[in-house]
Amino acid sequence: MRYFCCLILMLFWATDCVGQQIPIQTELAKESAWTGEKVPLIITLFSPGPFSGTPSFDLPELPRTAILKIGSPLVGSEEVNGESYITQRHEFAIYTQRSGEIVIPSFQVRYSGKNDFISESVPRESVVPELRFDSRRPPSTESMGVVVSATEMQIRQSWNPEQMVEFAAGDVVQRIITRTAEGTTAMMLPPVSATAPEGIRLHTSAPDVQDNYERGQSSAMRTETLKYQFERAGQYSLPQIEFQWWDPKQESLQQETLPGLTVQVIESENSNQQSVESQTASSQDRFTTVTRLIGGGLLAGLALLAFWSMKQYWHAYQHQPEVHAANELRKACASNNPQAAYSALLAWFDAIQHDGEVNTRETLFANDQHSKLQEQWQFLSRHLFASESTRAEWNPKHLRDAFRQSNKLLGLGDQRVLSLALPPLNPSVHELQKSQGHVGF
């Protein structure tokens, strides 16, 4: 049988700081799975008394594989060898795009709990043993980049405006595509592979993604909006879009095609009106040569004065310590340079310490509003200085966004240097994956 419960059910023991033996349980629910299919991993922690704080799992990083924490821990109680324990059941989901035997290396778990209901909390640490399962590539999926495995998939699209087939040059029509899938997560749904014919500009925006976990069942929804802007008159056919996914229950490849749209684009009334106005303007009397020279000289003088003032202001602004540090951080994120990003953040922490209002790194991170920046700072530190087994992967975009949010909260302004880029025009699938945060499978 390919499916069964508790394939690997291990009960082993952790040792706390005073040498007390505490059990910990690991359960991998499948011995074999299709590529892209969810593999549940359950880790149950034990404590004689109530738990304290939030456990830390040093999850390993594997190529083309994601290990995701699902929902909140389930608290219960259990008796082991005649001893009663309070338990925390943590659920994870493993998704891989690799084929063959998948090895999950051992990793550390750190948590705290009391020995009874009135004692002080005691730190505990254990190691989850190495886990293995087989990943099988579904047949007829060799040409697919990312295999989406879902027990059910619903795909729908709508057009805004609706039921229109005639547009004027410059008009925009929106195509809204929503995918709802069972048995997977939103991050496993790749971006829509969209193109546009010549004469149409295609704009994309960040997708709306949602995950839902209820009673052990997972579902995902991803909504994307494509905007087609017609540049000139003509007849255009907006292309159909095909979706494929693997159904592990039916063990078959499923496919659905969203129909395209044929539209007629005419010259806009604004263009005709502008042409008439241009002809009318050309027939009017012009200013005399002397008047134009005087006016032009005055405007040039004012423009030169304004330019000089703005240049002086911008020079002073750019040399402010916090602005200089923000610029350096932007450059480091753009070039994917974690060492430079670390140095720029340290310089920024020093620069924001104003007289009478000391915003040290410690006081800044004590505020929950800056939790995202603290999390990205920890990821960056672990990426640079942690050992191979505990090294974290840093994401330049996530660090930039967290810094931008904290910068605003401190009243330092957007500073423009960290503003997000405009949506790409006619982007490739690779660009869509980068801009929309899709896992790089």
Residues 249 and 369 in one domain: no
Residues 87 and 212 in one domain: no
Domain, as residue range, for 349:
321-410
Structural domains counted in the chain: 4
- DSSP letter for each residue of 219-278: EEEEEEEEEEEE-SSEEEEEPPEEEEEEETTTTEEEEEEE--EEEEEE--HHHHHHHHHH
| 347 found inside a domain | yes
Q: Residue 1 has what pLDDT?
A: 37
Q: How would residue 278 be classed by pLDDT, with cut points 50, 70 and 90?
A: very low
The pLDDT of residue 240 is above 80: yes
The DSSP letter of residue 193 is -
Which tops the pLDDT comparison, 46 or 358?
46
| 96 found inside a domain | yes
Q: Residue 434 has what pLDDT?
A: 43
Q: Residue 274 has what pLDDT?
A: 53
| 420 found inside a domain | no
The pLDDT of residue 370 is above 70: yes
- Count CA atoms within 13 Å of residue 168 on its CB side: 6
Of these ranges, 15-24, 29-38, 303-312, the one predicted with the greatest mean pLDDT is 29-38
Bridge partners (DSSP) of residue 168 are 266
| Closest to 253 in 3D by CA, of 93, 97, 142 | 142
What pTM was computed for the model?
0.57
Q: What is the pLDDT of residues 165-208, one digit of tens each?
A: 889 999 999 999 999 999 898 888 999 988 999 999 999 988 99
Of these ranges, 8-17, 208-217, 265-274, the one predicted with the greatest mean pLDDT is 208-217
| 61 found inside a domain | yes
Which tops the pLDDT comparison, 138 or 433?
138
The pLDDT of residue 285 is above 60: no
User: What distance in Å separates the CA atoms of residue 250 and residue 268, rounded to the nearest whole number?
Assistant: 51
Q: Residue 287 has what pLDDT?
A: 54
Q: Residue 359 has what pLDDT?
A: 62
Q: Which of 47-61, 96-110, 370-384 has the lowest mean pLDDT?
A: 370-384
Q: Residue 441 has what pLDDT?
A: 52
User: What residue type is assigned to position 29 of the chain?
Assistant: A
CATH code assigned at 199: 2.60.40
The DSSP letter of residue 354 is B
Residues 236 and 122 in one domain: no
Residue 286 backbone phi and psi in degrees, to 5: -95, 160
| 58 found inside a domain | yes
- Residues 378 and 370: beta-carbon distance below 8 Å: no
Q: Residue 424 has what pLDDT?
A: 45
Q: How would residue 2 be classed by pLDDT, with cut points 50, 70 and 90?
A: very low
pLDDT (average), residues 281-298: 63
User: What distance in Å separates the CA atoms of residue 13 and residue 25, rounded to the nearest whole number?
Assistant: 8
